């Protein structure tokens, strides 16, 4: 099992380096092959954790507090599985998306490799400082991917993104420094018994700093300002990676800290994230309903969908709340990757990025529109999709706690999502305008988008294994 942990970090670093050495625009095939292996590794790990419980590996034989430890419990195994499961189809998609001489794709492969490596390492890191390092790696690779498009709009969006991500990780680093100053350790396991409800005020400040910094990186309302331009202007495969995976990394970290070392302090503030999450759902949905551009609409939908993740915080005492969160991470990750991929196909084919320009798409790109519709089903939380299971678990946990308001917000959010999703589908079902021909697109693009969306729906028919995995070794 140790080899699995190491492999998940070293393999993406290897193909990123190889792609860098091969030169601009190259290195797709090794990346895809390696990602397939990584997916196998992640599945093995998930199975192992599910059967034997959490595992810890001291790198080089040096355990905490001196050395670096890698740890995998149910939560991290689930995140790793999702990470590879989304990155693999997106890599296949990106290979077909970026033409050989496309300037936007020149630096895609090395940056994507570092991104995946950073994410995998983040999910395995067992101490606060390593988490910082991996967080920074992910953030910088993501900014690079947005900027690699090269247009003025993209560079502007990337700069804004860079500012947000650096500010966020800076605040987090400060929090880590405060914690180290107070307790002399950054290992999560060692910190667990040390932090109590009577912790010094400095630790409260550290918790607040870490929370704000990570909320900024997760684009939780009202810190979402950087997300729509960055996700809306990047090339489709990049938007998909960012929306599906990168924002989830900082959410994962919030969850880790909230459930782990900061648990004694967090209980007092549990309605704050939920309130902001509810605001995100309403604000993001409202902006998506009004959006003129297709990718902007999808990006604002991400703002809204991230809101659901924060609704679970007051409910974490209930069984099923954590599962609801992880199910929502899966649902949104798969569906949003599929949706951005589908939008990329539509934009490539019709040459325009507006909702109004979609008329007749149902005749010309039926598979892609089907993919969009399936992803939409998940985002609306309609059965039988993973989004529906997430909603079901969330409402059930809310009822068990008597927190009616959370159930109502989740249900209302589903209806709002229906408005913006069907805004797109309605337009696509309109009769095609005369003479508006579409450019041919590679079939790989259409079918990878379809595969991602279909997975998000099919997961809704069988959530037991995932639930068991999340419940194990937490």
Partner 1 sequence: MTTNEWLPLAVLASSLMPGLMIFALPESRVGLRTLLNLAGALAKLALVVILIAGVAAGERYGVRFAVLPGVDLAFKVDALGLLFMTLSTILWLLTTLYAIGYLEGAPHRRRFFGFFSLCVTATMGISMAANLFTFFIFYELLTLSTFPLVVHRGTGKAMRGGTIYLAYTLAGGTALLTGIVWLNHLLGHTEFADAGILAGLGSEHAGSLKIIFVLLIAGVGVKAALFPLHGWLPQAMVAPAPVSALLHAVAVVKAGAFGIVRIVDEIYGPEFAQSLGLLQPLAVLAAITIVWGSCRALFQDDLKKRLAFSTVSQVSYITLGVAIFGPLGTIGGLVHLVHQGIMKITLFFCAGNYAETLGIHKVSEMNGVGRRMPLTTLAFSIGALGMMGVPLTAGAISKIWLSDGARAAGMEWAVWVLWTSSLLNAAYFLPILWRAWTRPAPLAWPEEHIPARSWRETALLLLLPPLFTAAATVAAGLFPDAAATPLAWARLIAESEYQMRIAP
Nearest to partner 1 of 329, 377 (CB atom): 377
Question: What is residue 99's DSSP assignment?
Answer: -
Q: What is the per-residue binding string for partner 1 in 325-364, x denoting contact by CB under 8 A?
A: -------------------------------------xx-
Kindly state whether residue 317 participates in binding partner 1, applying the rule CB under 8 A.
no
Spatial CA neighbour of 15 closest among 81, 102, 88, 72 = 88
Kindly state whether residue 66 participates in binding partner 1, applying the rule CB under 8 A.
no
Min dist CB 430 to partner 1, Å, is 6
User: Which of the residues 360 through 379 are near partner 1 (CB under 8 A)?
Assistant: 362-363, 366, 370, 377
Nearest to partner 1 of 266, 362 (CB atom): 362
For residues 455 and 218, give the distance between their C-alpha atoms in angstroms, rounded to a whole number. 24
Task: Name the burial class of residue 402, with classes exposed (0-12), middle (13-18) and buried (19+) by CB atoms within 10 angstroms of its CB.
Answer: exposed
Torsion of CA 85, 253, 280, 312, to 10 degrees: 90
Kindly state whether residue 290 participates in binding partner 1, applying the rule CB under 8 A.
no
Kindly state whether residue 395 participates in binding partner 1, applying the rule CB under 8 A.
yes
Kindly state whether residue 409 participates in binding partner 1, applying the rule CB under 8 A.
no
Q: Which stretch binds partner 1 (CB under 8 A): 1-9, 27-35, 186-194, 411-419?
A: 411-419
Kindly state whether residue 399 participates in binding partner 1, applying the rule CB under 8 A.
yes
For residues 76 and 80, give the distance between their C-alpha atoms in angstroms, rounded to a whole number. 6
For residues 272 and 269, give the distance between their C-alpha atoms in angstroms, rounded to a whole number. 6
- Bridge partners (DSSP) of residue 57 are 70
Q: How many CB atoms lie within 10 A of CB 356?
A: 11
Q: What is the per-residue binding string for partner 1 in 1-20, x denoting contact by CB under 8 A?
A: --------------------
Q: Which stretch binds partner 1 (CB under 8 A): 133-141, 143-151, 329-337, 392-400?
A: 392-400
- Find all residues with CB under 8 Å of 216, minimum gap 6, and list them: 164, 167, 168, 171, 223
Min dist CB 2 to partner 1, Å, is 31
Can you give 425-457 as a three-state secondary structure string? HHHHHCCCCCCCCCCCCCHHHHHHHHHHHHHHH
Among 128, 331, 389, 445, interactor with partner 1 by CB under 8 A: 389
Nearest to partner 1 of 159, 400 (CB atom): 400
Nearest to partner 1 of 205, 461 (CB atom): 461
* CA distances in angstroms from 360 to 117, 237, 435, listed in the order given: 41, 24, 11
H/E stretch holding 156 reads helix 152-183
Kindly state whether residue 392 participates in binding partner 1, applying the rule CB under 8 A.
yes
Among 275, 396, 444, 454, interactor with partner 1 by CB under 8 A: 396
Spatial CA neighbour of 249 closest among 171, 339, 137 = 137
Spatial CA neighbour of 225 closest among 138, 167, 293 = 167
Q: Which stretch binds partner 1 (CB under 8 A): 153-161, 251-259, 425-433, 443-451?
A: 425-433
Give how far the C-alpha of residue 397 lies from the chain's centroid of Cα atoms, to the nearest Å.
23
Question: What is residue 185's DSSP assignment?
Answer: -
- Find all residues with CB under 8 Å of 450, minimum gap 6, and list them: 338, 342, 367, 368, 370, 371, 374
Kindly state whether residue 429 participates in binding partner 1, applying the rule CB under 8 A.
yes
| Residue length of the chain | 474
Min dist CB 444 to partner 1, Å, is 17
- Bridge partners (DSSP) of residue 71 are 56
Min dist CB 302 to partner 1, Å, is 21
Among 21, 33, 99, 411, interactor with partner 1 by CB under 8 A: 411
Q: What is the per-residue binding string for partner 1 in 435-474, x denoting contact by CB under 8 A?
A: -------------------------xxxxx--xx------
Give the interface with partner 1 as residue ranges (CB under 8 A): 362-363, 366, 370, 377, 380, 382-384, 388-389, 391-393, 395-396, 399-400, 407, 411, 414-415, 418, 422, 425-426, 429-431, 460-464, 467-468
């Amino acid at each position: 099992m140790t080899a699995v942990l190491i492999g998940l970090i070293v393999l993406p670093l290897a193909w990123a380096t190889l792609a860098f050495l091969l030169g601009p625009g190259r290195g797709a095939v090794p990346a895809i092959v390696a990602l397939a292996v990584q997916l196998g590794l992640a599945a093995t790990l998930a199975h192992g954790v599910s059967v034997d419980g959490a595992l810890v590996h001291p790198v080089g034989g040096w355990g905490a507090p001196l050395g670096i430890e890698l740890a995998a419990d149910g939560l991290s195994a689930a995140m790793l599985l999702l990470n590879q499961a989304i990155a693999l189809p997106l890599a296949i998609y990106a290979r077909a998306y970026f033409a050989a001489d496309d300037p936007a794709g020149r630096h895609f492969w090395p940056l994507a490799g570092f991104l995946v490596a950073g994410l995998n390492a983040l999910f395995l890191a067992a101490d606060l400082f390593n988490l910082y390092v991996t967080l920074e790696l992910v953030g910088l690779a993501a900014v690079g991917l947005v900027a690699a498009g090269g247009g003025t709009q993209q560079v502007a969006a990337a700069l804004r993104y860079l500012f947000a991500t650096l500010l966020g990780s800076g605040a987090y680093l400060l929090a880590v420094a405060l914690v180290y100053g107070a307790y002399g350790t950054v290992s999560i396991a060692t910190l667990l018994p040390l932090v109590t409800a009577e912790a010094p005020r400095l630790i409260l400040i550290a918790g607040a700093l870490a929370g704000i910094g990570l909320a900024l990186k997760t684009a939780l309302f009202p810190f979402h300002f950087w997300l729509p331009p960055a996700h809306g202007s990047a090339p489709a495969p990049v938007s998909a990676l960012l929306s599906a995976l990168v924002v989830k990394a900082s959410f994962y970290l919030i969850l880790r800290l909230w459930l782990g070392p900061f648990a004694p302090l967090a209980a007092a503030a549990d309605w704050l994230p939920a309130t902001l999450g509810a605001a995100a759902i309403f604000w993001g949905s409202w902006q998506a309903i009004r959006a003129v551009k297709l990718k902007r609409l999808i990006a604002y939908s991400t703002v809204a969908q991230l809101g659901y993740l924060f609704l679970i915080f007051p409910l974490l005492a209930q069984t099923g709340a954590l599962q609801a969160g992880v199910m929502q991470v899966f649902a949104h990750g798969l569906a949003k990757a599929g949706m951005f991929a589908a939008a990329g196909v539509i934009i490539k084919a019709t040459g325009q990025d507006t909702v109004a320009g979609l008329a007749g798409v149902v005749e010309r790109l039926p598979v892609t529109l089907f993919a969009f519709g399936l992803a939409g089903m998940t985002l609306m939380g309609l059965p039988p999709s993973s989004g529906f299971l997430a909603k079901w678990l969330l409402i059930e946990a809310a009822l068990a706690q008597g927190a009616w308001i959370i159930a109502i917000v989740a249900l209302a959010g589903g209806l709002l999502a229906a408005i913006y999703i069907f805004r797109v589908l309605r337009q696509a079902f309109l009769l095609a305008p005369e003479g508006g021909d579409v450019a041919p697109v590679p079939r790989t693009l259409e079918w990878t988008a379809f595969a991602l969306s279909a997975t998000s729906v099919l997961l809704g028919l069988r959530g037991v294994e995932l639930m068991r995995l999340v419940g194990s070794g937490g």
